[in-house]
């Protein structure tokens, strides 16, 4: 995490199948939500964007990502 609170993390390679990338992203979101301090109030995850190393970022709906990880 940088000083602005942004987490930069690799979740796979472009050659990974979509299912494996989704699983890796879900695992990362679960770990972030689990590490949330109890004192933090309000929105904890404000946005999720994925991209390849030099590619364009793709925004992911953070509410649906959190619902997907909560249902597992």
Whether pTM > 0.85 for this model: the answer is: no
Residue 17, pLDDT above cutoff 90:
yes
Question: What residue spans define the domains of the chain?
Answer: 18-71
Q: Write the CB contacts of 13 (distance below 8 Å, at least 6 apart in sequence).
A: none
| Torsion 62-30-34-71 (CA) sign | positive
> How far apart are alpha carbons 71 and 15 in whole angstroms?
27
> How far apart are alpha carbons 62 and 45 in whole angstroms?
7
Mean pLDDT of 12-25: 90
When mean pLDDT is compared across 6-10, 22-26, 52-56, 67-71, the lowest value belongs to 67-71
């Amino acid at each position: 995490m940088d000083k602005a609170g942004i987490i930069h993390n690799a979740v796979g390679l472009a050659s990974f199948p979509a299912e494996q990338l989704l699983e890796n992203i879900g695992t990362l979101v679960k770990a972030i939500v689990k590490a949330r301090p109890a004192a933090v109030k309000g929105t904890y995850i404000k946005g999720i964007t994925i991209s390849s190393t030099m590619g364009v970022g793709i925004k992911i709906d953070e509410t649906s990502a959190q619902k997907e990880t909560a249902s597992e």
